[in-house]
Amino acid sequence: MLGTFQQSHLRFEIDAKAPTIRDSLLLVPHLRQWLQPQTLPPGLPERLTPGLSFVSHLGPIAVAHQVDCVGDNYLRLLLSQGIDGFHEWYWGDGWLQSCLEGISLLPLNLGQTASLLRLRYFIQHCQSSD
C-alpha cells in the first residue's frame, strides 16, 4: 500500500439520542444521504451487519469496507484499497466519536472531518423534521 500512516480521533457533541445516531450510521438509506459525495453500491441490505463487505467510491477512488463488529453504540469497519486500515465509531446520548487509522495517500483527517460535519447536519436536520 502506498501512502503514509495516519490516524485521526474526533469526538463532538451532538443534540441527539443514541438510537438516532446509531440509525444514521447503520441504516444504509441514511448512510447514502449523509455520505454524499461518496457513493455506496446498489443492492446493499437495509442495515450494516457483521461480515457485510462493499466498496464505496469518492470519484475515482475506491475504498473497500468490511463490517467487523456492530453493537448498540459501536461500529468497526475494516478498510482496504484506497485506505488500508480501520474506522471505529462510538456514540451515546449527545456525543459521537470517530477513530480512523490507516495507510493512504488521501488526507484522512480532512475527509473524516467533512464526513462528521455532514453526519451532524443530517442528524440535526432529520430530528427537526420529525
Q: What is the pTM of this model?
A: 0.92
pLDDT at 1: 66
Domain extent listing, the chain: 4-129
CATH no. of 4-129: 3.30.530.20
Task: Report how far residue 59's alpha carbon sits from residue 5's, in angstroms, rounded to the nearest whole number.
Answer: 22
Interval 71-124: pLDDT, tens: 999 999 999 999 999 999 999 999 999 999 999 988 989 989 999 999 999 998
Torsion of CA 15, 16, 22, 23, to 10 degrees: -120
Output Rg (C-alpha) for the chain, integer angstroms.
Answer: 14
pLDDT at 118: 94
